[in-house]
Amino acid sequence: MRGLTDPDPEAGLRATAGRGTMQAAFTAVAVLAALALFMSACGTGGTGARDEGPAHAEAVAGASVSPPASPSATPDSLDAVKLVQDDPTVSAGVKRELKPCIGDEYPVDVSYGDLTGGPANDVVVNVLTCGDGVGVGSYVYREEDGRYENVFKAEEPPVYAEIDRGDLVVTKQVYEKGDPVSSPSAQWVITYRWLASGRFTEEGRVRNDYSSVVGGDPTETPETG
Mean pLDDT of all residues in the chain?
73
Distance CA 41, CA 22 (A): 29
Question: Tell me, what's the pLDDT at 160?
Answer: 97
Question: Tell me, what's the pLDDT at 181?
Answer: 76
pLDDT digits (tens, 9 = 90+) for 164-211: 999 999 999 998 888 887 788 999 999 999 999 999 999 999 999 987
pLDDT beyond 70 at 41: no
Per DSSP bridges, beta strands 167-174 and 135-144 are unpaired
Give alpha helix (H) positions in 79-136: 80-85, 92-97
**Whole-number percent of the chain with pLDDT over 70:** 60
Is 186 within 8 Å of 174 (Cβ atoms)? yes
Distance CA 126, CA 136 (A): 8
Distance CA 141, CA 74 (A): 13
SS3 50: helix
Single out the residue of 89, 81, 164, 172 nearest to residue 135, CA to CA: 172
pLDDT digits (tens, 9 = 90+) for 131-156: 889 999 999 999 998 899 999 999 99
pLDDT digits (tens, 9 = 90+) for 64-86: 333 333 445 556 668 999 999 99
Single out the residue of 219, 152, 195 nearest to residue 161, CA to CA: 152
Amino acid at position 161, single letter? A
Between 180 and 159, where is the model more confident? 159
Between 107 and 36, where is the model more confident? 107
Single out the residue of 167, 141, 27 nearest to residue 89, CA to CA: 141
Is 112 within 8 Å of 121 (Cβ atoms)? yes
Cα Dmax for the chain = 153
Q: To the nearest 10°, the Cα dihedral for 84, 85, 90, 95?
A: 120
